[in-house]
Amino acid sequence: MTRLEQDLSTEQSTGQCRRLADVLSVTRTMLEHANAGNWDDVAELERARRDDLERCFSEAVDPRHSELVSEALAVMLHLNDELMGVLASARDAVLEQGINQARTRSAVGSYQDIQHSPG
């Protein structure tokens, strides 16, 4: 748990702050799963995270915690950017695999055509 998450989870924090700390923790876990290629886990956590965020911001931010909430949102946006970067790399890798498979299929087809042509 980071210092920010500890600050959000202190006894004097509101339920909103504690939920936001949980959201940050889930976001970090999502990034770990993304780096490991566990996309089903990322998707499942994202659904839960969305629900938590909706509950978190269904009420106004307590002015006493506005700076802390602002800092937490900045961290979450940074983590989201990292997550999107991992996703983009994974997408590019899948596209490259598809291109390579298409080339392999084409080469095999050409070889079979040569093998079966009268000669």
pLDDT (tens digit, 9 = 90+) per residue, 73-112?
A: 999 999 999 999 999 999 998 888 888 788 888 778 777 7
Q: Please return the burial class of 8, using the count of CB atoms within 10 Å of its CB with bins 0-12, 13-18 and 19+.
A: buried
- Residue ranges covered by each domain of the chain: 3-116
Asked if the model's pLDDT at residue 72 lies above 90, the reply is yes
Q: Is 65 helix (H, G, I), strand (E, B) or coil?
A: helix
DSSP 59: S
> Is the CATH number of domain 3-116 2.40.110.20?
no
